[in-house]
A and B are shown apart, each in its own frame.
Chain A
Amino acid sequence: MNYIDSNHLKSLCNGDTGFLLKTIDSFSAHLEDAVLKIEGFFSEKKWEEMRSEAHKIKSSAGLMGIKTLKHSLLVIEEACGRKRINTELLSIRIKHLKEIAGKILQELEEEKDLYTQITLPKN
């Protein structure tokens, strides 16, 4: 399954390959950091912080056009906002988030390699 929409990324960066590579790097770092924070907040049972982090990265996922990730984060955000937190279900949601985040990071890396090859001058 492809999580990344290459056409959306191209249109976001308006064909500017250098900008696209920087945006991918920046988003990848942002996503890795957010997943770690969400895991940390879960283990510390800091639901409001966890909800806020999921909300924040959800918007960035939307900007990047990664709908599956956005949906996964929306589910976590909503679950954290409930009066009674179902920790078992939330733990499954986080596991799923980690899985798709890993695949997305891999796809972004592949996308980056593709554009790096295009950008590099031929000797």
Chain B
Amino acid sequence: MKKKELFSIFVVDDDSFYRDTIEKCLKKDLGYKIKLKSFPTGEDCLNAVELSAAPPHIVILDYHLSSLNNTAMNGIKILNKLKAINRNVNVIMLSGQEKMEVAINTIKWGAYDYVIKNENALIRLKHLIDMIIYNIKLKQNVKKYEFWNLLSAILFLAFVLVVTVYIRNQFYSN
């Protein structure tokens, strides 16, 4: 059986109940093999991203992160810093605010999407994670396809070269 690929997801939320419930639900319900880590502050997440060999595939990031520490950076600042470390990291912003301008701002700063923390948040999160993983797999397949295309073109050219040299040698030897 083909081994399932491992996807890493980081969850950042200062509310322990929300963070734990999201973590448990995703671990249980997603059809992928995932490595999930959660953090109460954005600073902890940034440290983990900087220390890890490979950046996470997805970061689920809350907008308000200052309930435990007044000086903690908010979600937008963390989003900027994450994008500066690796611009390919997919960030899903979470917020209790239903204001359109907040959503637009997060997208403008490079978030993949914005999820309002309502009763449908978990369904939306799972759907977005599915979409991101589908895109990651698609990009990987395109890369594989491009590699094999390049390899077959090189092999074909090498074959043509060998045949040409052979015919040329035959021609001059006669």
Contact = CB atoms under 8 A, between A and B. Distances in A.
B21 A55 contact: no
A52 B67 contact: yes
Contacts of B119: 5, 8, 62-65, 67
B121 interface: yes
6 contacts: A12-B21, A30-B17, A60-B21, A63-B21, A63-B117, A63-B122
B74 interface: no
Contact of B96 (A12, A26, A58): A58
Given A16-B28, A27-B17, A55 B122 contact: no
A59 B96 contact: yes
Interface size class of A (residues with CB under 8 A): 20 to 34
Interface of A: 5, 8, 12-14, 16, 19, 23, 26-27, 30, 52-53, 55-60, 62-65, 67, 70
A56 B25 contact: no
Given A12-B122, A14-B28, A63-B122, A55 B64 contact: yes
Q: When A and B form their complex, which 6 residue pairs have the shortest distance between CB atoms, in order from nearest?
A: A59-B117, A65-B119, A30-B17, A62-B118, A52-B67, A59-B96
Contacts, number: 59
Contact of A60 (B18, B24, B25, B122): B18
A67 B121 CA distance: 13
Contacts of A62: 96, 117-119, 121
Interface residues of B, number: 21
A38 to B, nearest CB: 12
Interface of B: 14-18, 20-22, 24-25, 28-29, 64, 66-67, 96, 117-119, 121-122
A52 B62 CA distance: 14
A26 B121 contact: no
A98 B67 CA distance: 21
Contacts of B121: 62-63
Nearest to A23: B21
A53 B68 CA distance: 10
Nearest to B25: A12
Best-buried of A12, A30, A52, A56 by chain B (most CB within 10 Å): A56
Nearest to B70: A48
